[in-house]
Structure 1
Amino acid sequence: MKDDSCFRKGKTPRRPPPKKPPNNQKDPVGVYCRVRPLGAEDEECCIEVISSSTIQLHAPEGFKTNRNGEYKETQYSFKRVFGVSISQMELFEHVAQPLVDDLIHGKNGLLFTYGVTGSGKTFTMTGSPGQGGLLPRSLDMIFNSIGPYQAKRYVFKTDDKNGMEVQNEVDALLERQRRENNLPVPKTPSARQKLDPEIADMIKPEEAYKADGVDEDSSYSVFVSYIEIYNNYIYDLLEETQEDVIKPKWNGGGTPLRQNTEFIPPQSRILREDQNHNMYVAGCMEVEVKSAEEAFQVFWKGQKKRKVANTCLNRESSRSHSVLIIKLAQAPLDADGDNVLQDKNQVTVSQLCLVDLAGSERTGRTGAEGTRIREAGNINQSLLNLRTCIEILRENQMCGSNRMVPYRDSKVTHLFKNYFDGEGKVKMVVCVNPKADDYEETLLVMRFAEMTQEVEVARPVDRPICGFTPGRRHRNQAFKEELSRKLEERGGPLDRDMPSVISHLVHNLPPLPSCELTDPHDDITLPRLIEALQHRYRIKQMMIDEYSQAANALKAMLQDMDGNLISKDNLIREQTGKLDEKDKVIQTNKAELERLEKRTKMQEHKIDILQKTTKIYEDDKRSMRQELETREQRLHRELSDKKRIEQRMHGVVSDTKLKWEKECDRRVNAMQLEMQNKLWVKDEKLKQLKAIVTESRTPGRPDPPPRQTQPKRPSREERLPAKRSASPSPVPTSTPVRPLHRRSRSAGGEKWVDHKPSSSMDLGTVLQPVIPNSIQVSAPSEKALSKCDRYVLTHQEVASDGEIQTKLIKGEVIKTRGGGQSVQFTDIETLKQELTTVPGRKRKSSEGKPPNGDRADGAWTDVETRCSVAVEMRAGSNMGPGYEHHGITKRRKP
């Protein structure tokens, strides 16, 4: 088969929207707040009316709102706040009356109530007997204003495409007859005029309102449609319920058993767009009404079909959004002021939508189950979509963004998108319940309502005025009154025209007698017939005379009117000349006005440019100020970091300087000591050599064996180094004497484990601890411990004066029950080297032999002196020049 997709009919291209005159004037959405009286069972009130435009919310007990656990009070401002004592009439004056006045003057309007379930929205919109709400009062004001100027029924006719057509009088008459013939016959003559007792006495006569400035040269007609949005589906509440009668069941005899009747549920409607890109409900029934009572009766008929349910919060809770659409069609009269002008382009259609939104609710509080949960979810979702659209509109207007408003996500927002795009005024009445249980939900409602006030809607444009001269209806009525008065003066009919008089006379003629002749000798029938015909002839002559008289009277009246018209023509010419002069003045004023308007537009354009430039400069200034503040903060932070680093570096530099000064002093002293020791060794060698030479020259004395002399000890000032750091200072690489070793106190018959870590340093001292019969290890092992009885650990650390001290930590090796070994420490022996000062004259290498043959180093070269010094050193535990060995024993508990 061939693919015929290319032959399919394509979609109709979308028509571009009609060009509307630019309208820069915008009005914010009017938001009003109404507080419901507190119920008898409720004790705590969380709402307080502060002024005529401000309310304050108090958090109830147990509801904490801030971090400190304190109660928070918030205030919200609206265009007007109505307290509990406000009447329905005062509410109508401030809210709905301006919208009805705009409706009569050809402008659209939208009014909807919003709030939590049980807050009084339906009462505000509908009211009760004796306390009519916004809806019945709006209908009453409409018909009070246009009552004398209403067109006959079916003169205006809907075209099912959200438009209006105008029919002539004949077509309207035929339409009325056809509709009346199709209506069912009422049971009683007054059954159709009888009102429902629930809608009687809704408005008191003294509370009636009437609009000003109604165009008397136009004819009006009112159409009412009522829909509900249930579960995001649109249903027509005025649709007649159809019955489908199923065939009856028979019981086998000649009579039916029973007859079942099944009601077909109403079908949902769809939204469509008309040629002006306005949204409307397709196929919705629009009823033409001629009085406020009839309109409210139609509304009440649909109200009984609305979805309501009983919940824990409301006995009759609305489960759908209801919308009453009031359309007012008006068209100008023709030039004679008698009939409606047959021009569809001259018909103006304005509408007022009164919306009763279902209340937002929480299923946990309402106790909803099954179907009620689904209804509550759809209600909350549609209200959430409404909030989203309002937020995006506000963001686009305040921030200059161009985000798409999601009108199509919900039927409520899709139906009323034209109003937010500039097709009329928008007003909202927020109803709140002051009881404490609704505080949290009321808080959300208040935030949304306060945000809605910031959305601006374009002001509707005034409809064009018809080109005919005003006052046509009044002149036509005056002409008819004058004609009837002149006919009365001339003896003509007073309240009836000539065709009606003739028709009346024809119907009042005497009947003709029977003309049947059964007997040729009948002398009665013919004379009676002749008499009746003669009587009819006389009546005809009288009618001719009356007609001639009326025609003459009319002719005379027309002649008089011609004379009057001639005089009026002259007067009209004079007035026309004056009007021409006035027209010239008007044209001059118009030219001047156009010039001023152009200049005004130019100035407005300049003002807009200056405002935009100022805004740009302000934004740049704000951004630069923020950047400057950021840079200042960064600079302050960098300065503080720099100061902190400088302080730290000063400390480091001072510490490093002090450390290096000490290290330099220590190295200089060590180098001086090393050089002095070298010079001292050389001097001693020279002295020994000189002594040997001197003794060898003495005759008769044998040569003594060579002996090792004790070198001269330098003074403490020359040998005292600076405080050492963690690393040990270098020691002299050579010493003039053989190092002597001293037996440790630990020397004995026991076998030792000598634990010397690899990090231990050889200090090069004269006396070193030597442990015989020991096993030297760098790390203890179980094998070494099993062979020994005692344990010693060599530990080195830096003392408080900067010198390195060695600790010998001793203990006993004990066998454990498990076959292993453990060490129980018993005492600690500390080895520490210190510099001491030895008395005696320090000899420099540069000095020569002292004068007078006195030896400066005789104290050291003398054997007796050296022995005494050695004995003194042994007695004081001295271990060489500049070194001491201290033993400290401490006992610890095992």
Structure 2
Amino acid sequence: FLCYRKGKTPRRPALKKTNNVEKDPVGVYCRIRPLGAEDEECCVEMISSSTIQLHAPDGLKANRNGEYKETQYSFTKVFGINTGQMELFEDVARPLVEDLIQCKNGLLFTYGVTGSGKTYTMTGSPGEGGLLPRSLDMLFNSIGPFQAKRFVFKPDDKNGIDIQSQVDALLERQKRDSQQSVPKTPQKADLEFADMITPEESRKSKNIDEDCSYSVFVSYVEIYNNYIYDLLEDAQFDSVRPNKEFIPPQSRILREDQNHNMYVAGCTEVEVKSTEEAFEVFWKGQKKRRIANTQLNRESSRSHSVFTVKLAQAPLDADGDYILQDKNQVNVSQLCLVDLAGSERTSRTRAEGSRLREAGNINQSLMTLRTCMEILRENQMCGTNKMVPYRDSKVTHLFKNYFDGEGKVKMIVCVNPKADDYEETVLVMRFAEMTQEVEVARPVDRPIYHLAAGRRHRNQAFKDELSRRLEERGGPVNGGDSALMNQLIESLPALPPCELVDPTDDQTLPRLIEVLEQRHRIRQMMTEQVTHTANKVKFMLQQFDSQMSSKDTFVHDQQSKLNEKEKVILNQKTEIERLEKKSKTLEYKIDILQKTTEMYEQDKRSLQQELEGQEQMLQKELSERRRMEQRMQGVVTDTKLKWEKECERRVNAKQLEMQNKLWVKDEKLKQLKAIVTENSSGGSFPPEPPKKPERPSRERDHTMPQKRSASPTALPTVPPVRPTHRRSRSAGGEKWVDHKPASNLELDTVMQPIIPNAIKVSTPNEKALSKCHKYVLRHQELASDGEIETKLIKGDVFKTRGGGQAVQFTDIETLKQECPTAPRYNISLKYPGLIMLLRCSVSLQMYFGVLFMINKIEDSI
């Protein structure tokens, strides 16, 4: 007894990986269920035979990302609301039945929300048989005349099949018949199945190997709360208890056979010989399946059901009479029809207690199925090697070999189009779309034996010929001897029970002796019949030999002619072989030339495509370059016009500003001159002093300061002092950063500071500050007397914690030029408004205010 524990599934023996393994994607089909009422809102629309579109219901609120959008999903094929069960079977299940007969495995399962029609699709109803009864009907219609007798094939309880001899099979049949002495009565399954499939809808496979013998075994299990239960297990009574209560069914475990395929250990496998018998077994298990009434479905499946159809086939011997007694020649294939329980939300079903636990286990197993599909898809598309969690659920663990090994896998997604199921339907659609990208290895054809074909047909033809000749010679008709022998074999009495429970029992042994004597007499009759038949056959052969001896002469003549013809034929065959060899050589050369031509043509096409691609890229680059040039030309033209306008505007503004400044200066000088002249004539002011030398301007020559006299009498001018003889108080041995803005004016006077060992900059920068210890900023402004005043703002340079430079200002030095010979007047004592006038702005807007103030001053004077 092996105890299973959670871990990795034992791996198969290491196989050489080949790149030529062909794979097929999982076939995913969609079936839309009709609405329950005409006034219900529909959220699913069938666009084409392979595409559907989901519409969000009107009452559904917007999610975080906005409103729900209309989404389309594609499938292998979409079946609308008017699709019948027959059309669905033809497209989905019939290829799987064909593969089952050709020794290939298959898996078909239905998936969807609760109440979407999964059970109806799989089982059907009276008059509309589902996929399961139609698959059984097609299988038995195909292998019906080639089935073996009961118990010739026998399960070995290890997911394999053994072969028994005819005698052992006969004894087991008699034993089973003696146990089932109660006459069989028609059950409900027979009555319902009779109306499910009409004779016109019956199908039959044409790819049947008539040289094989077949036998069908079915099993039916359910996975409930992640436990596996056998639905075909007979109910057992508890003999210990007085009322003989039923023993609860025991869960089954999963095991791995010698071929590394998963199977349910101890599961009941019933051998069936007809569609009615198979459906009766299915109906027996269906009555035990767990269903319940919920808010969404009156008969909601509370478990996943798995109905397995196993087909065993073995070849006949060389004579076509009996099955080869070799277990290695037995080939077993199986088709699993799975009806998954529907996913559901407890908020809608209002499940409580055991129903809530059932819903949780159903949703958990379906979530594990989605996870396995996602990891399989990622491993196949991205080349990763993640472990697929098959063991997390019994559903995925049972069908592990279908996804890791060989076999076709198909899924039918059942959709209920009503608006209430919209959110669950979206999740189902996403899972179905992802499952289509999972690929499964394509099953390959496996030869079973290496015997000549047509053995059964030749054996039957021989029996028919023998019966015909016996009938001509007055022997038994319709194979009387063989029929009689079969009748004798079938008439062997069954052995009575031989168990002795009482020492005084004097009936069991006599009854057994009587039955054995009857069997002995029947065996003697069979021996005599075989001997009699053998003598007849021997006599017939002797007569046939005597008839053939009279024909030897004729045969000899015909034989000589036949030999001559054979020689001619041999010569012709030799010539044909020579011509065939020559033809093959020429065909080989033609193939080589064709392949060479194809290679050259392929190279030519590839080069032409590459050339066309390069030309297209070149044309695209040229057009892009032309567009870029045109764009840049436009940008340059626009920028040029813009800057020309801007420069013209700035020049005009600057000219206007300078003109306004000159005009204001002239007006101020005129006013001052008028005031001084008026005061000097009145005697209240001293005589007019000589005119100060004008301050330099941008329009004048900066080499020498110009002078201007205030009266016609020329005053002696003071010779200018060369600026090289003037040293600033800032001159020293330390290194300075001389920050001189570009807007400062060059005075070319003694007031021009000179700082040796200094770095002159127009704007401060980190590089200059890092090389110096001191910093000076030159600032020019208009003084109260109309002259330019220069301020030297000094500071120390030090490094910051972040690695930069900072300046701390410590001193301000003011440089102001004055004429040494000009008298100094303190006009601000008598005319304080005049100083305010001189300090005001020289803009055009303030000009009128200045004139008004001057007029006021004149009126007061």
**TM norm. shorter chain > 0.5:** yes
8 Å contact 1:156–1:165 — kept in the other structure? yes
Name the counterpart of 2:444: 461
Alignment of 1:833-848 (within 5 A): none
Residue type of the alignment partner of 1:351:
Q
Residue type of the alignment partner of 1:239:
E
Q: 1:717 to 1:479 in 2, by over 3 A?
A: closer
Post-superposition CA distance 1:507-543 (Å, at most 9, x none): 9xxxxxxxxxxxxxxxxxxxxxxxxxxxxxxxxxx99
Name the SS for the 2:107 alignment partner: strand
Separation (CA, whole Å) in 2 of partners of 1:638 and 1:246:
102
Name the counterpart of 1:31: 28
8 Å contact 2:216–2:273 — kept in the other structure? yes
Structure 2 stretches of 5 or more lacking a match?
Answer: 1-7, 492-524, 668-672, 678-682, 701-742, 746-778, 788-817
Name the SS for the 1:559 alignment partner: helix
Give 1:338's match in structure 2, choosing from 321, 324, 331. 321
Give 1:443's match in structure 2, choosing from 426, 447, 464. 426
Post-superposition CA distance 1:1-39 (Å, at most 9, x none): xxxxxxxxxx99955155698754433332222222221
Name the SS for the 2:108 alignment partner: strand
Separation (CA, whole Å) in 2 of partners of 1:134 and 1:154:
28
Q: 1:267 to 1:401 in 2, by over 3 A?
A: closer
Separation (CA, whole Å) in 2 of partners of 1:160 and 1:335:
30
8 Å contact 1:728–1:804 — kept in the other structure? no
State the shift of 1:710 in Å: 2.6
Separation (CA, whole Å) in 2 of partners of 1:357 and 1:103:
22
Name the counterpart of 1:235: 229
Post-superposition CA distance 1:27-60 (Å, at most 9, x none): 3332222222221375333334344334344433
Q: 1:291 to 1:653 in 2, by over 3 A?
A: same
Name the counterpart of 1:218: 212
Alignment of 1:331-410 (within 5 A): 331-398=314-381, 402-410=385-393
8 Å contact 1:48–1:56 — kept in the other structure? yes
Residue type of the alignment partner of 1:267:
S
Name the counterpart of 2:413: 430
Name the SS for the 2:149 alignment partner: coil
8 Å contact 1:312–1:367 — kept in the other structure? yes
8 Å contact 1:308–1:319 — kept in the other structure? yes
Residue type of the alignment partner of 1:78:
F
State the shift of 1:424 in Å: 1.7
Residue type of the alignment partner of 1:286:
E
8 Å contact 1:669–1:720 — kept in the other structure? no
Residue type of the alignment partner of 2:121:
T
Q: 1:502 to 1:109 in 2, by over 3 A?
A: closer
Separation (CA, whole Å) in 1 of partners of 2:581 and 2:253:
55
Name the counterpart of 1:279: 262
2:164 matched to 1:167?
yes
State the shift of 1:214 in Å: 0.7
8 Å contact 1:140–1:208 — kept in the other structure? yes
Residue type of the alignment partner of 2:781:
P
Separation (CA, whole Å) in 1 of partners of 2:830 and 2:10:
118
Q: 1:328 to 1:599 in 2, by over 3 A?
A: farther
State the shift of 1:415 in Å: 2.4
Separation (CA, whole Å) in 1 of partners of 2:206 and 2:137:
14
Post-superposition CA distance 1:628-650 (Å, at most 9, x none): 9xx99999999999999999999
Alignment of 1:562-577 (within 5 A): none
2:155 matched to 1:153?
no
Q: 1:460 to 1:245 in 2, by over 3 A?
A: same
Separation (CA, whole Å) in 2 of partners of 1:589 and 1:165:
53
Q: 1:798 to 1:173 in 2, by over 3 A?
A: farther
Name the counterpart of 1:209: 203
Name the SS for the 1:40 alignment partner: coil
8 Å contact 1:218–1:332 — kept in the other structure? yes
Residue type of the alignment partner of 1:237:
L
Larger-Rg structure: 1
State the shift of 1:65 in Å: 6.6
2:712 matched to 1:728?
no
Give 2:453's match in structure 1, choosing from 470, 473, 489. 470
Q: 1:396 to 1:130 in 2, by over 3 A?
A: same
Separation (CA, whole Å) in 1 of partners of 2:333 and 2:526:
52
State the shift of 1:438 in Å: 2.0
2:292 matched to 1:309?
yes
Name the counterpart of 2:801: none
Per mean C-alpha deviation after superposition, the further-off stretch among 204-213 and 416-425 is: 416-425
Q: 1:203 to 1:565 in 2, by over 3 A?
A: farther
Residue type of the alignment partner of 2:82:
S
Post-superposition CA distance 1:725-752 (Å, at most 9, x none): 99631445365144256479xxxxxxxx
8 Å contact 1:111–1:428 — kept in the other structure? yes
8 Å contact 1:65–1:72 — kept in the other structure? no
Q: 1:649 to 1:396 in 2, by over 3 A?
A: farther
Alignment of 1:255-654 (within 5 A): 259=243, 261=245, 263-270=247-254, 272-398=255-381, 402-421=385-404, 423-494=406-477, 495-497=479-481, 553-559=536-542
Name the SS for the 1:137 alignment partner: helix
Q: 1:653 to 1:407 in 2, by over 3 A?
A: farther
Post-superposition CA distance 1:397-450 (Å, at most 9, x none): 455555544434333233223333451222222222222222332233234334
Separation (CA, whole Å) in 2 of partners of 1:94 and 1:719:
101
Give 1:244's match in structure 2, choosing from 225, 238, 243. 238
2:693 matched to 1:710?
no
8 Å contact 2:331–2:448 — kept in the other structure? no
Name the counterpart of 2:506: none
Separation (CA, whole Å) in 1 of partners of 2:105 and 2:170:
31
Residue type of the alignment partner of 1:739:
N
Separation (CA, whole Å) in 2 of partners of 1:543 and 1:718:
151
Separation (CA, whole Å) in 1 of partners of 2:586 and 2:289:
55
Separation (CA, whole Å) in 2 of partners of 1:502 and 1:445:
58
Name the SS for the 2:142 alignment partner: helix
Post-superposition CA distance 1:269-292 (Å, at most 9, x none): 22x333323222222222111111
Name the counterpart of 2:755: none
Residue type of the alignment partner of 1:217:
D
Separation (CA, whole Å) in 2 of partners of 1:593 and 1:139:
53
State the shift of 1:875 in Å: 5.2
Separation (CA, whole Å) in 1 of partners of 2:400 and 2:22:
19
8 Å contact 1:100–1:138 — kept in the other structure? yes
Name the SS for the 2:782 alignment partner: coil
Name the counterpart of 1:80: 77
Residue type of the alignment partner of 2:128:
Q
Separation (CA, whole Å) in 2 of partners of 1:713 and 1:350:
126
Post-superposition CA distance 1:552-577 (Å, at most 9, x none): 53322233566899999x99x99999
Please give the TM-score of this superposition, normalised by the length of structure 2.
0.63
Post-superposition CA distance 1:683-727 (Å, at most 9, x none): x9xxxxxxxxxxxxxxxxxxxx9x942325689999999999996
Name the SS for the 1:373 alignment partner: helix
Separation (CA, whole Å) in 1 of partners of 2:630 and 2:358:
61
Q: 1:160 to 1:658 in 2, by over 3 A?
A: farther
Separation (CA, whole Å) in 1 of partners of 2:356 and 2:632:
61
State the shift of 1:147 in Å: 1.1
